[in-house]
Amino acid sequence: MTPLRITIRNATTGPVLEIIGELDHSTAPQLRDVLNALILRPGQRLVLDLAGMEFCDSSGLTALIVARNHAQAAHADIALAAVPAHTLRVLRTVGLDQIFPLHPDSHTATHP
């Protein structure tokens, strides 16, 4: 099991959370804690950079939805960047690719 590491950086469009490691039932609360402390302003875009994410289970998917809800509550946008193929397949299977804007990398996601 690879521990989850979340780094935050600021882009002109808003915060970028780089999610590295496994996002699963034991680590998803860590993402929720980061989101609870994250202040978004209306019009910003929260980008979740998943390039370093090695695994995502249903709890991880739920945490991504929590991130979307957090952004919507702040009248901000959300985007997923560099979604690994295995996670992208699951997102498409369950229809979450219809509610998350998907970008090939965080650079693309942070440039309107």
Mean pLDDT of 1-30: 95
Instruction: Report the alpha-carbon distance of residue 33 to residue 94 in Å, rounded.
Output: 25
pLDDT at residue 18 tops 80: yes
Residue type at 71?
A
DSSP string, 41-89: -TT-EEEEE-TTEEEE-HHHHHHHHHHHHHHHHTT-EEEEES--HHHHH
- The closest of 19, 21, 20 to 2, measured between CA atoms, is 21
What is the pLDDT, as a whole number, of residue 94?
Answer: 95
User: What percent of the chain clears pLDDT 70, i.e. is strictly above it?
Assistant: 99
pLDDT at residue 1 tops 70: no
Mean pLDDT of 74-103: 97
What is the pLDDT, as a whole number, of residue 2?
Answer: 78
Band of pLDDT at residue 62, cut at 50, 70 and 90: very high
Q: 43 to each of 25, 28, 36, 78, 84, how far by Cα in Å?
A: 31, 26, 18, 10, 27
Mean pLDDT of 58-69: 97
